[in-house]
Structure 1
């Protein structure tokens, strides 16, 4: 299983270990992934995801999964997140048509 965020597709970065003698060797900076269950208010459904801790903080700041997805551009989202966003938009359009 690759170490990538299920919402924003954040992956590992690379850099250097630098010793006291300034010797440099390559290393990987892994993403801090968390297994979480996020609830969609409009869909009334829960989604199990493996997302980065910094993405989880942003989801909380934006007011939940629906607010995060609606405020994020599609080219930043993964395919799984785009499907959820599409369902949320469809549900909102149905609610507007009924009202």
Structure 2
């Protein structure tokens, strides 16, 4: 399953681990996704979504 927020589309970001000896290896920062039962526009039923915590905090998601 993809690490992508279903509201804002935010996905993982990529960068480097850099050691004290300046050895460089690739790493990734995943999005903090939470499964949420939320109301979706256009329908009265609640739907299960995987949403990032920044969308939950900002109020973009209305929990059912």
Which TM-score band (shorter chain)? 0.7 to 0.9
TM-score normalised per structure 2? 0.76
Pick the structure with more strand per residue: 2
Q: How many residues end up aligned between the 2 structures?
A: 61
Give the match for residue 38 of structure 2: 38
TM-score of the two chains, using structure 1 as the length reference: 0.52
Q: After TM superposition, where is structure 1 displaced by more than 2 Å over at least 4 residues in a row?
A: 42-45
Task: Out of 8-17 and 21-30, give the one that drifted further.
Answer: 21-30
Which structure: larger Rg? 1
Structure 1 stretches lacking a partner, 5+ long: 66-99
- SS for the counterpart of 2:9 is coil
How much is the aligned-residue C-alpha RMSD, in angstroms? 2.0
> How big is each residue's C-alpha offset from its partner over 1:21-79, in whole Å with a ceiling of 9 and x where there is no partner?
12221111111110011136x954312100111111112xx6x53xxxxxxxxxxxxxx
Q: Higher relative contact order at CA 8 Å, sep ≥6: structure 1 or structure 2?
A: 2
Higher helix share: 1
